[in-house]
Amino acid sequence: MNASTNFFATTEPVAYGGPKTDKPLAFRWYDKDRIVRGRRLEDHLRFAVCYWHSFGWIGSDPFGGETFLRPWHHGDDPMALARAKADVAFELFRLLDVPFFTFHDADVAPEGRSLAESVRNLNVIADLFEQKMSAAKVRLLWGTANLFSHRRYMAGAATNPDPEVFVYAAGQVRAALETTHRLGGQNYVLWGGREGYETLLNTDMRQELDQLGRFISLVVEHKHKIGFAGPILIEPKPKEPTKHQYDFDVATCYGFLQRYDLLKDVKLNIEQNHAILAGHSFHHEIALAQALGVFGSLDINRGDDLLGWDTDQFAMNVPELALAFHDILKAGGFTTGGLNFDAKIRRQSIDPDDLIHAHVGSMDACARAFLAAADMLDAEALTTPIAERYAGWTDADGRAILAGQRSLADLADRALAPGFDPQPRSGRQEYLESLVNRYV
**C-alpha span between 129 and 79 (Å, rounded):** 14
DSSP-assigned letters across all residues of 204-222: -HHHHHHHHHHHHHHHHHH
Give CA torsion, residues 378, 379, 382, 387, to 10 deg: 90
Catalytic one among 107, 310, 327, 342? Answer: 107
- 339, β-bridge pairs: 47, 298
Instruction: Single out the residue of 241, 220, 240, 217 nearest to residue 229, CA to CA.
Output: 220
What does DSSP say about strands 47-50 and 339-341: parallel, antiparallel, or unpaired? parallel
Would you say 165 and 211 are in contact if contact means Cβ atoms under 8 Å apart? Answer: no
Quick one: pLDDT at residue 1? 47
From the centroid of its chain, how far is CA 70? Answer: 26
What does DSSP say about strands 39-40 and 35-36: parallel, antiparallel, or unpaired? antiparallel
Residue type for position 398 = G
Quick one: pLDDT at residue 5? 64
Instruction: Single out the residue of 213, 205, 298 nearest to residue 250, CA to CA.
Output: 298
Would you say 153 and 194 are in contact if contact means Cβ atoms under 8 Å apart? Answer: yes
Quick one: pLDDT at residue 308? 87
Over the chain (440 residues), the average pLDDT of each successive run of 10 is 77 97 96 98 98 94 95 96 98 98 97 98 98 98 97 98 98 98 98 94 98 98 98 97 97 98 98 96 98 98 92 97 98 98 97 98 98 98 97 97 98 97 97 96
Would you say 146 and 169 are in contact if contact means Cβ atoms under 8 Å apart? Answer: no
Would you say 109 and 82 are in contact if contact means Cβ atoms under 8 Å apart? Answer: yes
Contacts of 346 (CB under 8 A, 6+ apart): 313
Q: What pLDDT, in 10s, does the model give residues 118-162?
A: 999 999 999 999 999 999 999 999 999 999 999 999 999 999 999
Q: What pLDDT, in 10s, does the model give residues 257-275?
A: 999 999 999 999 999 999 9
Is residue 107 among the annotated active site residues? yes
Quick one: pLDDT at residue 2? 62
DSSP-assigned letters across all residues of 307-370: -SS---BPP--HHHHHHHHHHHHHTT--SS--EEE-----TT--SHHHHHHHHHHHHHHHHHHH
Cis peptide before 241 (omega within 30 of 0): yes
Give CA torsion, residues 404, 407, 410, 412, to 10 deg: 120
Catalytic one among 31, 53, 97, 104? Answer: 104
Burial 54-92 (b: 16+ CB within 10 A, else e): bbbbebeeeeeeeebebebbeeeeeeebbbbbbbbbbbb
Burial 136-165 (b: 16+ CB within 10 A, else e): eebbbbbbbbbbbeeeebebbbbbbeeeeb
Quick one: pLDDT at residue 305? 86
| CA dist 44 → 177, 227, 333 (Å) | 25, 26, 7
- For CA atoms 275, 280, 286, 289, the dihedral sign is negative
Q: What pLDDT, in 10s, does the model give residues 33-92?
A: 999 999 999 999 999 999 999 999 999 999 999 999 999 999 999 999 999 999 999 999
